[in-house]
Chains A and B, each alone.
Chain A
């Protein structure tokens, strides 16, 4: 029984429960000539909620837990001798899963029957050929224990699914009946169903926490296993980044961090002055009609997907910088460079700086400006000496937020800055960043046991910690500053 069907059946039970529950409440009220405690719909709603929620919760929990349990049980079935030299158990398990899926497909096509399958043995039957026939390619022949494991994997997950489905249906019907039987004229149906809904609302808002836990846990566990095989000291202090396909790589984060900071710095040098000037102009000088045109136009920049900026850097800005500046000056002839990525990224983060600063400058009370004018200051003197210093902490917060954007940005750097990890001061050379390396280490066929892959998680954790620190600091500054005038 597939989970999708179970969900549909549960939904149907719940809908029927609603109708029946409502009808029963109304007829009870008519028979007993009493007033219902709640509106009739609430009685139906109570039955429907009882029918749906517990069953679905159990089903989802089961779907998450089942693969784990099966994984450990089946993994125990494979003797160490069946694992090829130098291979990992996780790879064999991936094979097991593939074979199991393949067997399902074979059965679905009616090639063999269930009883034939249980008789089959890997050493007499050509399992590989059988599976190739339906498009499942296996790297090598299947050793008998692996095949047995695949068969029982299939068996267990099949039974598991049936049990889960049956359990969910039983829960659904059981709770629905229970709720239905409890319907009485003075049942506080509204309160019950509202308490239910409230619990649902609470659980929806905990998803944010679960996501954070998921991020931290996934980063942390994989980083931990990375540091088990690769010394943390080399990771943090080595200046060489040179991953090798066959192991023995140098995985020093310093060149990547250098590239990240260099590109972000260029981006900020572009974005901060421009963004600030735009903000001051919009907040202090521009009339309402100009403002209503310019502000959305600038904010369009923030809504454009970063891949668009990436292509812009790749086909327009990069070649332009190379042909007009880098080559004439003899500084290099690479079209992907720190400057390319930095400038384009700077354009992207202009609106972050300008919008936030605009809000903050607007929040400076008019009385400060009026006071300054009353002392005889001109408008530009007022802005420079009064408004700007008053807004400064908030602006610093905005710049920090923009910096964290720049550090976490991926696509512009992937397309604009190249993939060579190096420590250099020349802004016309190609460099690379943490995010680019996360992408390049994790794309393609990867095996999750080598340091070359796991390093991406360590890089991710570094990135997460860096941007989180900047964000928290920025939010703290912005918030603290905002309170001063309230």
Chain B
């Protein structure tokens, strides 16, 4: 009876945890956009009229903002929407401050678009987005410096007219992080790449090292002081708090060897050292599960110890080893504390280069990005953080599924 209650409490806690994350975070996959036909006015963007890229690049985002404001006014006039108590400038505040920058990027990438009218889906401001997600209400808008109830009413009219739409938020997966004041533009792009780089490093290093170490300990090692020392060490390392590995990375890899801060290479190495014990323990279990008769048969037909191990035992143990490796990788993917110490908290907007140079470029990582967002003032970032956690959990789920499938597929009984 008590036991059943305990089980129920445990499972309720799990469900509560997931429900809280989902209810907070699912909305981050939707985003409010403002669709406008914007006339890319040559008189403003390219005064000389010779399409000189350098001259065009000189126009800052301030040069683009009036275009958006004008387009919004035109659209409102066309649909017959009057901005009751909202002038042209405050109406333009419905659109994210990120929008002029997006526009500028578009023009710089394709200067021939100047002079044409192009349809854009611009990000709505964070408060407007929050209004349609229930985070901002008329009451809270009265107290808010950034938004007024009149603006919200205008937004409702725009929505009715189809200018304001809610779409799937692809940029959440592709965009880099954004500054404190524009949560609507913040995305996970750099963090996903950084995490992927680190996982690549962890996989490439920890699998061969872990397997080699386990093969030695399980198949070749004599029982002596040295191997005892290694074994005790491995079981201790598995239980060392993760933050201590962060200190190791900071002291040895950054201060001593001089690797760059915030770089995936440092994170990858630290996580490799953390994952190794897990992989070694799993690999040893997998090797142990291969029955001695396989080894004896190989030795019996004249194979050397090394041949018996590499040609017969290792292939049979491989599914188990891979399962353990994937579980170790999953744990490394969610690890945060050590990455905080090696500077992965930095605000990174630049995408790192492709590997291998990209390993040395500053990047972010999924869990650290989540932490980063939780530390910011705007409540919209809590939604972003929860959304990022959903992404992280989906990745973890996929990895665990692969591990389970591998195990099912190759499970054999001797």
Kindly supply a per-residue 1/0 record for chain B positions 293-335, scoring 1 wherever the CB is within 8 Å of any chain A CB and 0 otherwise: 0000000000011100000000000000000000000110111
Q: Is A104 an interface residue (CB 8 A)?
A: no
Known: A205-B212, A209-B233, A218-B247. A308 touches B337 (CB 8 A): no
CB distance A301 to B371 under 8 Å?
no
Q: Which residues of chain A come closer than 8 Å to B343, judged between CB atoms?
A: 443
Complex Cα gap A442–B254 (Å): 13
Partner pick for A457 among B6, B209, B247, B335, CB 8 A cutoff: B247
| Residues of B235-287 contacting chain A, CB below 8 A | 235-237, 239-248, 250-252, 255-258, 273, 276-277, 280
Complex Cα gap A314–B233 (Å): 36
Q: Is A468 an interface residue (CB 8 A)?
A: yes
Interface size (A, Cβ < 8 Å)?
81
Partner pick for B21 among A308, A411, A438, CB 8 A cutoff: A308
CB distance A460 to B242 under 8 Å?
no
CB distance B241 to A410 under 8 Å?
yes
CB distance A277 to B2 under 8 Å?
yes
Q: Which residues of chain B come closer than 8 Å to A435, judged between CB atoms?
A: 241, 243, 337
Q: Which residues of chain B come closer than 8 Å to A286, judged between CB atoms?
A: 3
Pick from A194-202, A241-249, A385-393 the stretch touching chain B: A194-202
B186: min CB distance to chain A, Å? 16
Q: Is A174 an interface residue (CB 8 A)?
A: no
CB distance B334 to A443 under 8 Å?
no
Q: Is B164 an interface residue (CB 8 A)?
A: no
Partner pick for A442 among B250, B257, B333, B335, CB 8 A cutoff: B250
B208: min CB distance to chain A, Å? 8
Q: Is A407 an interface residue (CB 8 A)?
A: yes
Pick from B44-52, B122-130, B144-152, B381-389 the stretch touching chain A: B381-389
Q: Is A15 an interface residue (CB 8 A)?
A: no
Q: Is A159 an interface residue (CB 8 A)?
A: no
CB distance A208 to B276 under 8 Å?
yes
Q: Is A77 an interface residue (CB 8 A)?
A: no
Q: Which residues of chain B come closer than 8 Å to A215, judged between CB atoms?
A: 240, 244-245, 247-248
CB distance B241 to A408 under 8 Å?
yes
Pick from A139-147, A292-300, A423-431 the stretch touching chain B: A292-300
Q: Which residues of chain A come closer than 8 Å to B306, judged between CB atoms?
A: 194, 197-198
Q: Which residues of chain A come closer than 8 Å to B17, judged between CB atoms?
A: 304, 308-309, 312, 347
CB distance B11 to A298 under 8 Å?
yes
Q: Is B153 an interface residue (CB 8 A)?
A: no
Q: Which residues of chain A come closer than 8 Å to B252, judged between CB atoms?
A: 214, 218
Q: Is B59 an interface residue (CB 8 A)?
A: no
Complex Cα gap A443–B244 (Å): 14
| Residues of A74-103 contacting chain B, CB below 8 A | 97
Q: Which residues of chain B come closer than 8 Å to A282, judged between CB atoms?
A: 3, 7
Partner pick for B370 among A222, A311, A467, CB 8 A cutoff: A311
Question: What is the chain B residue whose CB lies nearest that of A312?
Answer: B17
Q: Which residues of chain A come closer than 8 Å to B345, judged between CB atoms?
A: 443
CB distance B334 to A304 under 8 Å?
yes
Q: Is A10 an interface residue (CB 8 A)?
A: no
Complex Cα gap A472–B233 (Å): 11
Complex Cα gap A308–B21 (Å): 8
CB distance B374 to A314 under 8 Å?
yes
Q: Which residues of chain A come closer than 8 Å to B335, judged between CB atoms?
A: 305
CB distance B230 to A209 under 8 Å?
yes
CB distance B243 to A311 under 8 Å?
no
Partner pick for B14 among A208, A280, A301, A472, CB 8 A cutoff: A301
Q: Is B53 an interface residue (CB 8 A)?
A: no
Q: Is A310 an interface residue (CB 8 A)?
A: yes
Q: Is B20 an interface residue (CB 8 A)?
A: yes
CB distance A202 to B371 under 8 Å?
no
Q: Which residues of chain B come closer than 8 Å to A300, judged between CB atoms?
A: 14
Complex Cα gap A99–B257 (Å): 18
Kindly supply a per-residue 1/0 record for chain B positions 344-371, scoring 1 wherever the CB is within 8 Å of any chain A CB and 0 otherwise: 0100000000001000000000010011
| Residues of B200-252 contacting chain A, CB below 8 A | 208-210, 212-217, 220-221, 229-230, 233-237, 239-248, 250-252
Q: Is B340 an interface residue (CB 8 A)?
A: yes
Question: What is the chain A residue whose CB lies nearest that of B211?
Answer: A204
Q: Is B392 an interface residue (CB 8 A)?
A: yes
CB distance B239 to A467 under 8 Å?
yes
Q: Which residues of chain A come closer than 8 Å to B210, judged between CB atoms?
A: 204
Partner pick for B213 among A197, A204, A307, A309, CB 8 A cutoff: A204
CB distance B209 to A207 under 8 Å?
yes
Q: Is B336 an interface residue (CB 8 A)?
A: yes
Partner pick for A316 among B2, B20, B337, B370, CB 8 A cutoff: B20
Partner pick for B236 among A198, A350, A471, CB 8 A cutoff: A471
Q: Which residues of chain A come closer than 8 Å to B235, judged between CB atoms?
A: 475
Q: Is A212 an interface residue (CB 8 A)?
A: yes
Complex Cα gap A301–B9 (Å): 12
Known: A218-B248, A298-B10. A205 touches B217 (CB 8 A): yes
Q: Is A211 an interface residue (CB 8 A)?
A: yes
Question: What is the chain B residue whose CB lies nearest that of A306?
Answer: B336
Q: Which residues of chain A come closer than 8 Å to B280, judged between CB atoms?
A: 208
CB distance A208 to B237 under 8 Å?
yes
Partner pick for A205 among B213, B257, B356, CB 8 A cutoff: B213
B346: min CB distance to chain A, Å? 10
Q: Is B143 an interface residue (CB 8 A)?
A: no
Complex Cα gap A60–B316 (Å): 33
Q: Is B113 an interface residue (CB 8 A)?
A: no
Q: Is B81 an interface residue (CB 8 A)?
A: no
Q: Which residues of chain B come closer than 8 Å to A305, judged between CB atoms?
A: 333-336, 367, 392, 396
Q: Is B4 an interface residue (CB 8 A)?
A: yes
Q: Which residues of chain A come closer than 8 Å to B3, judged between CB atoms?
A: 277-278, 280-282, 285-286
Partner pick for A278 among B10, B230, B258, CB 8 A cutoff: B10
Q: Is A464 an interface residue (CB 8 A)?
A: yes
Complex Cα gap A310–B393 (Å): 14
CB distance B243 to A439 under 8 Å?
yes
Question: What is the chain A residue whose CB lies nearest that of B227?
Answer: A205
Complex Cα gap A280–B212 (Å): 39
CB distance B392 to A308 under 8 Å?
yes
Complex Cα gap A306–B332 (Å): 11
CB distance B14 to A438 under 8 Å?
no
CB distance A303 to B233 under 8 Å?
no
Ranked nearest first, the 3 interchain pairs of A and B with the lowest CB-CB distance are: A281-B3, A408-B241, A305-B334
A–B pairs, 9, beta carbons within 8 Å = A194-B306, A202-B216, A215-B240, A221-B251, A350-B13, A404-B241, A411-B337, A460-B243, A464-B244
For the A-B complex with A215-B248, A277-B5, A285-B3 known, give 5 more contacts whose Cβ atoms are closer than 8 Å. A208-B230, A208-B234, A211-B233, A281-B7, A315-B20
